[in-house]
Amino acid sequence: MDFELPDDAAALIETTRKMVSDLMPHEPEFQKTGKVPAAVRKVFRDNGFFSLAFREENGGMGLGMLEICCIQAELAHLPVQFWADVKSSQGPQTKIIEDFGTEAQRQATLPAVIAGDLVMAFCLSEPHCGSDVSAIRTRAERTGDGWRLNGYKTYVSNGIKAGQAVVAAYTDRSKGARDGISLFLVPADAPGYKLAGILELMGHHTPGVAELAFDDVDLPAEALIGEEGKGLSYLMHGLNAGRLAIAGTSLGMGEMALEEARRYAHERPAFGGTLSDFQAVQHMLADMATEMRAARLLMLDAAWRYDRGEVSRSLCAMAKLFCSETACRTVDTALQIFGGAGYVRGQRVERLYRDVRVTRIYEGASEIQKNTIAREMLRD
């Protein structure tokens, strides 16, 4: 049995680590202004970060989930806003276009996404429903030779600056979610497409997520992605990869907090020594390190199997569940080690404390992951 990362993955991670460490000094300025310095996006654009997940024939690097999760864990050391666009280039909105879209839809989006010029939004959640996809109210009705879209979407990451959106809507409610939901590619400049509101968040606090309204948006027949009524299966298609990627995000945040706490405990003078002299603090660090290591191994195993074609809903759910829960605990303990200093705006652990919390919620809350794991266990 070999626990070493493949050479390619190791080289990609190493380079990402170097870039991340060079970008870290931009954090204080960002914490002050809330604006992502232009240099950050340039580094990601110049070094191919928007192409990671796409297949080679579409101009991408065709990386597997092992590489993507590990790269994501490195990026997650930086403020979320630095890499949010990179993450969105790997999200369901682009993967669905790549896997199920028409050639015209691919041409209209993928090259611009890969070049770092286009951000796409994914519109699924609505004010009254999240994980319960079947409850969406957005609908698309046939018109003469196209569709008319009506509905309201919320928690749209990157919705503020998206140029194109993938929108889930019922095309035939009588067929239920399984056969009645379809996906549409909607350009942000379509008449009736409106940025209806911005939700400020606890973490990821600027620029927030968008609420988008679709009022009688007329779409041509070609706006339909894949086949009519297959929306739910397309959504499910990218589910496991999405969960693995969040395992990577939360893992990176937890590991960053652990490193911050280790360094601080070592430096902070206390009672004639340093914090790290105290066994209570040593045990905290030992627990954090052990749990984060377990989380990393669980993620690596799930991602490695995924790339080998052994896609297991249960393993992906376990990785997402454990990495996010563990990362939240680790960040919390890190803040405890920092004491008052960790509660101060501008401190990295304070930022991580706010940012990490959502990893237990989005891409399926922890409770949903447990449902999945139990269902797979109890399946006949």
Partner 1 sequence: MKVLVPVKRVIDYNMKAKVKSDGSGVDLANVKMSMNPFDEIAVEEAIRLREVGKAEEIVAVSVGVKQAQETLRTALAMGADRAILVIASDDVHTDIEPLAVAKILKAIVDEQQPGLVLCGKQAIDNDMNATGQMLSALLGWSQATFASELSVDGDSAVVTREVDGGLQTIKVKIPAVVTVDLRLNEPRYASLPNIMKAKKKPLDEKTAADLGVDVAPRLEIVKTSEPAARQAGEMVPDVDTLVAKLKEKGLV
Binding status of residue 134 toward partner 1 by CB under 8 A: no
Residues 163-222 interacting with partner 1 (rule: CB under 8 A): none
Binding status of residue 11 toward partner 1 by CB under 8 A: yes
Q: Which stretch binds partner 1 (CB under 8 A): 39-47, 274-282, 289-297, 355-363?
A: 39-47
User: Among residues 5, 24, 43, 198, which is the contact residue for partner 1, using CB under 8 A?
Assistant: 43
Residues 71-90 interacting with partner 1 (rule: CB under 8 A): 71
Binding status of residue 117 toward partner 1 by CB under 8 A: no
User: Among residues 29, 32, 35, 47, which is the contact residue for partner 1, using CB under 8 A?
Assistant: 47
Provide the minimum distance between the beta carbon of 62 and partner 1 in the complex, in angstroms, as a whole number: 8
User: Among residues 8, 200, 216, 227, which is the contact residue for partner 1, using CB under 8 A?
Assistant: 8
Query: HEC profile for 258-274?
Result: HHHHHHHHHHCEECCEE
Angle (CA) 171-174-177 rounded to 5° is 65
- Which positions are catalytic? 363
Binding status of residue 42 toward partner 1 by CB under 8 A: no
What does the alpha-carbon distance between residue 256 and residue 208 come to, in Å, rounded to a whole number?
Answer: 23
Binding status of residue 263 toward partner 1 by CB under 8 A: no
CB 185 within 8 A of CB 164: yes
Binding status of residue 48 toward partner 1 by CB under 8 A: yes
Residue whose C-alpha is closest to residue 222's, from 106, 330, 117:
106
Binding status of residue 65 toward partner 1 by CB under 8 A: no
Q: Which stretch binds partner 1 (CB under 8 A): 29-37, 43-51, 202-210, 305-313?
A: 43-51
Work out whether the CA dihedral 8, 9, 12, 18 comes out positive or negative: negative
Provide the minimum distance between the beta carbon of 261 and partner 1 in the complex, in angstroms, as a whole number: 20
Binding status of residue 138 toward partner 1 by CB under 8 A: no
In three-state secondary structure terms, 133 is helix
Length reported for the chain? 380
Binding status of residue 5 toward partner 1 by CB under 8 A: no
Residue whose C-alpha is closest to residue 311's, from 244, 380, 379:
244
From residue 289, alpha-carbon distances to 71, 154, 181, 303, 374 in Å are: 20, 37, 44, 21, 28
Binding status of residue 49 toward partner 1 by CB under 8 A: yes
CB 48 within 8 A of CB 60: no
What does the alpha-carbon distance between residue 193 and residue 224 come to, in Å, rounded to a whole number?
Answer: 16
> Which residues of the shown chain bind partner 1 in the complex (CB under 8 A)?
7-8, 11-12, 15-16, 18-19, 43, 46-49, 51-52, 61, 71
